[in-house]
Structure 1
Amino acid sequence: MAVPLQTSWQLQTAEGEPSAVVRVRNLQSTIQGPQDAWGRPGRPQPILVSAEVSLAQPFGSSSSADVVASDTVHYGLLSKAILATLGRLETEAAAGEAASLHGVVSNIWADLTGLDTSGAASNASKKGAFLNLSFVRRLSVSVVLTKASLLGSGVSLSASAVFQESSMQARGLALSLQGLRVPTLIGVNDNERTAKQIVVANIGIEQYGNDKDEHAPLEAVVVDTMTKSSYETLEALATDIASHMTTYLRSSPEDSASTHNWHLQIGLEKPTAVPFADAACVELRTSTNDVIKSS
Structure 2
Amino acid sequence: MSLRSTMHIPAVPAFLDSVRLRDIQLPLPAAPDPWHRLGKPQPCTASLKLSYSSAIAAAEKDDVSLSIDYGKLFRRLETDVREMAQHTSSPEHPHHRMVSVEGTRREEMKASAVGQDPRVTAGIVANCGLSLLDETAAGVRRMSHLRQSPRNSFSGSQAPPAPQPADAGPAPITAEYGRCEVWLQLPKALLRAEEGLKYRSVTVWGYNDEAGADALESESRSPVVLEEEFRIEGIRCYCILGVNSHERVEKQAVIISLGFEGPGQLAWGSTVVDTYVALTRAVAEKVDETTFQTVEALATFVARIVTVDFGNERVTVRVEKPSALPFVQRSGVEVTRTQAFFQSHEVAHSTLATRGEARSIEVLVGPASSLTLFRCPKQAALYPLEEPFIVQR
TM-score by length of 1: 0.74
Q: After superposition, what is the alpha-carbon deviation per residue over 1:219-273, rounded to whole angstroms, capped at 9, x for unaligned?
A: 11221232122111111111111111012432xxxxxxxxxx7331211111110
Which residue of 2 is the match for residue 48 of structure 1? 45
Which residue of 1 is the match for residue 19 of structure 2? 22
Change (3 A) 1:79 1:288: farther
Question: Distance in 2 between the 1:150 and 1:219 partners?
Answer: 9
Of residues 176, 186, 202 in structure 1, which corresponds to 2:241?
Answer: 186
**Which aligned pairs between 1:152-163 and structure 2 lie closer than 5 A?**
152-162=194-204
Moved more, 238-247 or 171-180: 171-180
Question: Distance in 2 between the 1:3 and 1:201 partners?
Answer: 40
Of residues 280, 284, 301 in structure 2, which corresponds to 1:219?
Answer: 280
Contact kept, 8 Å, 1:18 with 1:54, in 2: the verdict is: no
Alpha-carbon shift at residue 42 of structure 1 (Å): 1.8
Alpha-carbon shift at residue 216 of structure 1 (Å): 2.0
Question: Distance in 1 between the 2:83 and 2:260 partners?
Answer: 28
- Point out the structure with max Rg over C-alpha: 2
Of residues 74, 81, 85 in structure 2, which corresponds to 1:79?
Answer: 74
Change (3 A) 1:244 1:200: same
Aligned residue identity for 2:270:
N
Change (3 A) 1:162 1:232: farther
How many residue pairs get aligned? The number is 256
Q: After superposition, what is the alpha-carbon deviation per residue over 1:43-98, rounded to whole angstroms, capped at 9, x for unaligned?
A: 221111111123355x301221233455x5332222222211211016679xxx62
Question: Could you say what secondary structure the match of 2:307 adopts?
Answer: helix
TM-score by length of 2: 0.57
Change (3 A) 1:21 1:44: same
Which residue of 2 is the match for residue 60 of structure 1? 56
Question: Distance in 1 between the 2:81 and 2:306 partners?
Answer: 31
Which residue of 2 is the match for residue 174 of structure 1? 229
Question: Could you say what secondary structure the match of 1:192 adopts?
Answer: helix
Contact kept, 8 Å, 2:231 with 2:258, in 1: the verdict is: yes
Contact kept, 8 Å, 1:141 with 1:158, in 2: the verdict is: yes
Question: Distance in 2 between the 1:55 and 1:291 partners?
Answer: 43
Aligned residue identity for 1:282:
V
Alpha-carbon shift at residue 177 of structure 1 (Å): 0.7
Which residue of 2 is the match for residue 99 of structure 1? 115
2:292 is aligned with 1:290: no
Contact kept, 8 Å, 2:126 with 2:180, in 1: the verdict is: no
Contact kept, 8 Å, 1:22 with 1:53, in 2: the verdict is: yes
Alpha-carbon shift at residue 17 of structure 1 (Å): 11
Question: Distance in 2 between the 1:214 and 1:36 partners?
Answer: 15
Question: Distance in 1 between the 2:122 and 2:253 partners?
Answer: 32
Q: After superposition, what is the alpha-carbon deviation per residue over 1:123-150, rounded to whole angstroms, capped at 9, x for unaligned?
A: xxxxxx22334242x3211221111122
Which residue of 2 is the match for residue 131 of structure 1? 133
Of residues 36, 40, 45 in structure 1, which corresponds to 2:33?
Answer: 36
Contact kept, 8 Å, 1:102 with 1:213, in 2: the verdict is: no
Moved more, 35-44 or 231-240: 35-44
Question: Distance in 2 between the 1:90 and 1:169 partners?
Answer: 22
Question: Could you say what secondary structure the match of 1:210 adopts?
Answer: helix
Question: Distance in 2 between the 1:175 and 1:21 partners?
Answer: 24
RMSD: 3.2
Which residue of 1 is the match for residue 84 of structure 2? 89
Contact kept, 8 Å, 2:32 with 2:115, in 1: the verdict is: no
List runs of 5+ in structure 2 lacking aligned partners: 89-112, 135-174, 208-215, 263-267, 347-393
Question: Distance in 2 between the 1:15 and 1:228 partners?
Answer: 51
Q: After superposition, what is the alpha-carbon deviation per residue over 1:192-211, rounded to whole angstroms, capped at 9, x for unaligned?
A: 11111111112111134218
Contact kept, 8 Å, 2:129 with 2:180, in 1: the verdict is: no
Q: After superposition, what is the alpha-carbon deviation per residue over 1:151-194, rounded to whole angstroms, capped at 9, x for unaligned?
A: 32121222113557876676112221122222222111111111
Moved more, 204-213 or 194-203: 204-213
Which residue of 2 is the match for residue 120 of structure 1? none
Question: Distance in 2 between the 1:3 and 1:189 partners?
Answer: 58
Change (3 A) 1:157 1:42: same
Contact kept, 8 Å, 1:205 with 1:263, in 2: the verdict is: yes
Change (3 A) 1:22 1:226: farther
Question: Distance in 2 between the 1:235 and 1:69 partners?
Answer: 55
Alpha-carbon shift at residue 107 of structure 1 (Å): 2.6
Question: Distance in 1 between the 2:4 and 2:319 partners?
Answer: 34
Which residue of 2 is the match for residue 230 of structure 1? 291
Contact kept, 8 Å, 1:274 with 1:280, in 2: the verdict is: yes
Change (3 A) 1:74 1:202: farther
Question: Distance in 1 between the 2:27 and 2:44 partners?
Answer: 5
Moved more, 16-25 or 82-91: 16-25
Contact kept, 8 Å, 2:80 with 2:87, in 1: the verdict is: no
Question: Distance in 1 between the 2:14 and 2:321 partners?
Answer: 34
Alpha-carbon shift at residue 41 of structure 1 (Å): 2.2
Question: Distance in 2 between the 1:176 and 1:37 partners?
Answer: 16
